[in-house]
């Protein structure tokens, strides 16, 4: 792997706002995820191989959540067995069904479960998986209290739309946000929100860089509901080939070279795939090429670029 050496985690008080090559997304370690076919990522051997490769390659950050099946538990068991640690982003489960009077206690209980599963006393970032929860006064207050207690270093929210981010940025003490961002989705940049967050020292994590794997699929393999992506993907492949870089390198650069992005969140199905992404991180891509790729992406409809709008159960023939 070729990721530059990073300072290993040694406690929440040492959080840095220096941009990171990428954060390893771990949904695949806990449950089936994305458009790719089932993999061995969630097996004991697969988890060990991926996390071992991440540690050996100098990856510092992991992104997980209570909603990601057994992800937290599997990460925790591996860290305990290996005596290893990462900086951790995890997420508060939805509190939509929780009464206002019980919301603060629910935050504390959920965080207790996360810390126990991971086998740690604190984590670096704790996000509301549903941004509306962070806008509830008892939830925000409970998260500020957890920060004061040293159980978390930063809190924030995972958002889907620019107006959500604008709302949560008004929450006192906000320290991090996670946004969907790709060559096909530049809405947060266009709204000036990434720059505004960076000015305030808020960490911006960018997910859906590959649209759950769709952008890395051969156009002929796309499921029927995503066939509209075939021509744009072909165009991006051609641009990458002409520049003598890989498609993942182009897609990652279109995110990580945006000022204010702290780290792209990239999931993998295997240790070998992680190594390939690590190699794709290296090197800068020209501004002109990124501008051309972005113009290709702007022609893609939200129905294609927003996974929430895809059919809930993709066809088995994918």
- Residue 17 has what pLDDT? 75
Residue 2 has pLDDT above 60, yes or no: no
CA-nearest of 4, 26, 6, 22 to 14 is 6
CA-nearest of 20, 31, 91 to 61 is 20
Residue 1 has pLDDT above 90, yes or no: no
**Strand ranges for the chain from DSSP E:** 23-25, 61-63, 87-92, 123-128, 152-158, 176-180, 203-207, 263-267
Element (H, E) at 98: none
pLDDT tens readout for residues 97-108: 999 999 999 999
pLDDT tens readout for residues 31-84: 766 665 455 566 888 899 999 999 999 999 999 999 999 999 999 999 999 999
Task: Flag whether 160 is in a domain.
Answer: yes
CA-nearest of 210, 202, 198 to 173 is 202
Residue 272, domain extent:
18-218+260-283
Q: Kindly report which listed range (129-138, 249-258, 272-281, 284-293) carries the lowest average pLDDT score.
A: 272-281
- Residue 34 has what pLDDT? 61
Task: Flag whether 290 is in a domain.
Answer: no
- Residue 35 has what pLDDT? 62
Task: Flag whether 311 is in a domain.
Answer: no
Task: Flag whether 243 is in a domain.
Answer: no
Task: Flag whether 61 is in a domain.
Answer: yes
Q: What are phi and psi of 95, to 5 degrees?
A: -110, 20
* Total number of domains in the chain: 1
Task: Flag whether 312 is in a domain.
Answer: no
Task: Flag whether 186 is in a domain.
Answer: yes
Q: What is the largest CA-CA distance in the chain?
A: 59
Task: Flag whether 273 is in a domain.
Answer: yes
- Residue 283 has what pLDDT? 76
DSSP state of 37: P
Residue 157 CA to residue 160 CA, distance in Å, equals 10
Let me know: does 90 contact 64? Beta carbons within 8 Å. yes
Kindly tell me the burial class for residue 135, based on how many C-beta atoms sit within 10 Å of its own C-beta (0-12, 13-18, 19 or more): middle
DSSP 174-201: --EEEEE-BTTB-HHHHTTHHHHHHHTT
pLDDT tens readout for residues 142-189: 999 999 999 999 999 999 999 999 999 999 999 999 999 999 999 999
Residue 119 CA to residue 217 CA, distance in Å, equals 36
Q: pTM for this one?
A: 0.91
Looking up tokens 């390198």, which residue turns up? 249
- Return the CATH number at 107: 3.20.20.100
Q: Please give the average per-residue pLDDT across 263-285, as a whole number.
A: 90
């Amino acid at each position: 792997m070729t990721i530059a050496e990073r300072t290993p985690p040694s406690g929440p008080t040492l959080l840095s706002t220096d941009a990171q090559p990428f954060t390893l997304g771990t949904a695949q370690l806990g449950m089936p995820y994305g458009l790719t076919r089932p993999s061995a990522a969630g097996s004991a051997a697969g988890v060990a191989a991926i996390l071992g490769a991440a540690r050996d390659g100098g990856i510092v950050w992991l992104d997980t959540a209570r909603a990601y099946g057994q992800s937290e538990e599997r990460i925790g068991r591996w860290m305990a067995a290996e005596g290893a640690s990462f900086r951790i982003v995890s997420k508060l489960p939805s509190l939509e069904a929780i009464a206002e009077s019980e919301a603060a206690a629910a935050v504390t209980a959920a965080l207790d479960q996360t810390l126990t599963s991971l086998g740690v006393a604190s984590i670096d970032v704790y996000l509301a998986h549903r941004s509306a929860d962070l806008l509830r006064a008892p939830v925000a207050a409970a998260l500020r209290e957890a920060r004061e207690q040293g159980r978390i270093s930063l809190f924030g929210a995972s958002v889907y739309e620019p107006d959500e981010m604008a709302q949560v940025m008004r929450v006192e003490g906000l320290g991090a946000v996670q946004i969907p961002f790709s060559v096909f989705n530049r809405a947060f940049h266009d709204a000036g929100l990434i720059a505004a967050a960076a000015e305030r020292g808020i960490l911006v994590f960018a997910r859906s860089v590959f649209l759950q794997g769709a952008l890395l699929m051969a156009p002929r393999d796309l499921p029927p509901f995503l066939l509209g992506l075939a021509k744009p993907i072909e165009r991006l492949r051609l641009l990458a080939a002409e520049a003598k870089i890989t498609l993942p390198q182009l897609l990652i650069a279109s995110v990580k070279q945006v000022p204010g992005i702290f780290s792209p969140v990239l999931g993998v199905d295997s240790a070998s795939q992680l190594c390939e992404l690590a190699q794709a991180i290296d090197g800068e891509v020209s501004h002109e090429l990124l501008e051309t790729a972005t113009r290709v992406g702007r022609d893609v409809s939200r129905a294609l670029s927003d996974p929430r709008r895809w059919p809930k159960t993709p066809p088995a023939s994918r």
